[in-house]
A and B are shown apart, each in its own frame.
Chain A
């Protein structure tokens, strides 16, 4: 794949924790403005993969290229500045700051005072957080805190957004809204979504990558993936010697 239409590429990416191989030689390619879903059973290595992409974990071996830049040994803030935004699995927010302050800190990372204020206001309106601006984020419900984190990531205007279980703990309504938002943000950014909620994935999926035991099991359309015998085995927990 040529580097011009490829925003993210990993080559032989591997992460070992002692003797445990969490990620084993993953070659992953993502096109500009692509929307990719990442699925796989618990412990398949999805979150570890995300953490390596955002420099929260250093790979044991392999290479990560983002927008033509080698970010394998970069620091988290450098990766962020290059244009990768991530929503972690557990709401990762500033609990003792208000909603407005949380989003302001994010927006001011990229914009001057006036533009950051406008951007923050715009993001809060789009995500329906306007009525909560003065509330402390630590006092909000789980779903609302997910929205605040999502709003922070969107306020960064990243080129690539990584979402680790964005719909976890949300009501059906909220999940629909999240899907809608993802499609909208996808107009200007590439997105990788990790989710367990198959209904949610069906709403947004174009290409689906299945992780299993730290490797890419299959990469195809949602229909093909769902029909795949191997994927069913993995998800139903059937092992080879059954």
Chain B
């Protein structure tokens, strides 16, 4: 009962902190940095989706950017055709969700294991990269939307107030919307992980055979987790298309796929805060490195990743959490040591 209350207390505190940051940041940060910050927030949603699939579901997905890109393309193509952004926004969640469900169905029900799963999902992303890249030419048009090959789709119309295409979302508005989405996804996932469904997902990660022997169909639970993760990534893709007002096959590229994994590794798997922290930190460092000429940015980022894998394998958030727990439990250690000394 107490633990339950503390859990909810932590969630309430995180929500309040999130809302405060959301309202305060635009007041104290300069406009140029706000543009950067908005993209961090959008990418953090993508990082969360992988944090769920990999950190909690134990599913090694190297192609999370596939769903991100499909969401972005689904939004862009639909909004160019429809004008109003309400249905395109929904499509940016539903289409990648369905794609994840279809792909996941074949992989999980064929009992494809970890490494193969990673290879196949990465390959799917790279295939999408090639396919979308091959769509330059006037014959590759969906409705009124030309796909544009490697040049992508320029001038993607922004989100608008539901049913009112004339009331478009401003850039500040996009920051607030992205921030609220990140917060909602975070809170939603926290609640989901506390439910029976979430408990079973984690149990399957811990020991799939035991979970099945307890009567849970691991294939179904993994598929559901994968689909939810795909849908969330798609939503992030929609926001990303809004941020740049542009979308190109680069979202399916190797660099994009690798980035997400790095954010989750650095922030820490098995937590929801970790992927968010990792995403913000790495992107911020990448931005700072991009502004100087002394060192190659990718070289430094690579060094950071190797450093983390070797020195902080659990990631930032779990490591800090462990340190706090050790401090908290210190009073219990002393009497045990005393007891042992008594003959």
Residues of A that sit less than 8 Å from B by CB: 54, 56, 75-77, 80-81, 85-86, 88, 92-97, 101, 104-106, 108-110, 113, 152, 156
Is residue B210 within 8 Å, beta carbon to beta carbon, of the partner chain? yes
Q: With A81-B215, A108-B199, A156-B214 in contact, is A76–B206 under 8 Å at CB?
A: no
Contacts A75-B217, A156-B215 given: A105-B203 contact, CB under 8 Å? yes
List of B residues within 8 angstroms of A92 by Cβ: 207, 209-210, 213
**Contact of A94 with B215 at beta-carbon distance under 8 Å, contacts A56-B209, A76-B209, A108-B196 already known:** no
B207 contacts A94, C-beta separation under 8 Å: yes
CA distance A53 to B211 in the complex (A): 16
Pairs of residues from A and B, 6 with the lowest C-beta to C-beta distance, nearest first: A80-B215, A76-B212, A94-B206, A109-B215, A77-B217, A105-B203
19 additional contacts (CB under 8 A) given A92-B210, A96-B206: A54-B213, A76-B212, A77-B212, A77-B215, A77-B218, A80-B213, A80-B215, A88-B213, A92-B207, A92-B213, A95-B207, A97-B202, A97-B203, A101-B199, A105-B211, A108-B199, A109-B216, A113-B196, A152-B210
Q: Is B277 an interface residue (CB 8 A)?
A: no
**Beyond A94-B203, A97-B202, A97-B203, is A105–B209 a contact (Cβ under 8 Å)?**
no
B77 within 8 A of A: no
Q: Is the CB of A105 within 8 A of B215?
A: no
The residues of A that contact B215 with a CB separation of less than 8 Å are: 77, 80-81, 109-110, 156
List the interface of chain B (C-beta within 8 A of A). 196, 199-200, 202-203, 206-207, 209-218
**Interchain CB contact under 8 A, A80 and B203:** no
Q: CA–CA, A56 to B210, complex, Å? A: 10
Bound Cα distance A86, B215 (Å)? 11
When the two chains form their complex, are residues A94 and B217 in contact, meaning their CB atoms are under 8 A apart?
no
Nearest chain-B residue to A82 (Cβ)? B215
| Distance of A156 Cα from B206 Cα, bound (Å) | 19
In Å, the complex CA distance between A104 and B199 comes to: 9
Shortest beta-carbon distance from A138 to chain B in Å: 9
Q: Which residue of B lies closest to A96 (CB)?
A: B206
Distance in Å from the Cβ of B131 to the closest Cβ of chain A?
35
CB distance from A112 to the nearest CB of B (A): 10
Cβ contacts under 8 Å, B200 to chain A: 105, 108
The interface residues of chain B lying within 8 Å CB-to-CB of A81 are: 215
Q: How far is the CA of A152 from the CA of B200 in the complex (A)?
A: 14
A–B Cβ pairs within 8 angstroms, 7 of them: A75-B217, A76-B212, A77-B217, A105-B200, A108-B199, A108-B200, A109-B214
A75 x B210 contact (CB < 8 A) = no
